[in-house]
Amino acid sequence: MIHSGATNGTITFATLEIGGVAQTNFSLPNLKIVPGQRYNLNLEYKVCTNQVVATGMDWSFVRYGAPGDGAVVNNFIVNDVFQVGPFEAANGSIISKEIVAPGADYGFVFDIYSLDNSFNMSVNGDKISAQELQFEIFGEGKGTAQTIGFTDGTRHGAGGIPQVWANGMAGDYTNRTNPLIQVQIDQKGNVSVFGRKSADGALLPMKMLDGTPFNKINWQGGASSNSVKITQRIENATGMKALGAGLKKGSCAN
């Protein structure tokens, strides 16, 4: 700015976006400008949020017969058909549950506290991956190939890392602490997956073993809700305990 003397001025931003929240025509009036002086502009932008929570996922189906036979399913959807249990669902069958996740302006986090042994998830019709996220390493001829591991090249069930379903690996579903697997969906629909290598380890980034990225999904915030379908491919005993939560813009208390 070039001016011959001290003056008052106004700075106007056509669009100011912080944390995904946009403000248009944002102005700072009555700024005193003195020639030869350098100015730093520090802005504090307050956004108040409320937590929104989705219906929990809690099911477990034991294996029947020898490894490779499948699982006994009770009162659940198998291959898109509701089956009154006990129903012997063969390996390769897909069990599913649909939930409604409230609109969350800052994305959503699905915490999986126990898992045996794979899953996939579609949000508003879009799958997070074209493949089942298979965490287990099976013996020869006893299950499908593992499809997901850690970004450092390690995997569950190898190199001293327990299988995802091993004793002690589950987190606390009741108190919502120490999730085993975490699926993060940001406000723009980008998906990330994290997992633990040990009972008390930190959540670490994971990737599909074939190198394909997780799909971007159409996540809804505001007053809209999100249709979430959780599926699991049956590989002997099968189960999951999970909860989802996110943050939604809300009114400020003060």
Where are the domains positioned within the chain?
7-45, 51-67+95-249
Distance, CA of 199 to chain centre: 20
Cβ neighbors of 156 (< 8 A, separation 6 or more) are 135, 136, 137, 146, 149, 162, 163, 164, 195, 197
pLDDT along the chain (254 residues), means of 10: 66 75 77 78 75 89 90 95 94 94 89 96 95 89 86 96 96 95 93 96 96 94 90 95 88 68
Q: What pLDDT is recorded for position 106?
A: 85
Q: For residue 3, what are its two tokens?
A: 């001016």
Q: What pLDDT is recorded for position 21?
A: 61
Tally the residues of the chain: 254
Please give the model's pTM, rounded to 2 decimal places: 0.81
* 179 preceded by a cis bond (ω within 30 of 0): no
The owner of tokens 């949000």 is: 123
Q: What pLDDT is recorded for position 82?
A: 96
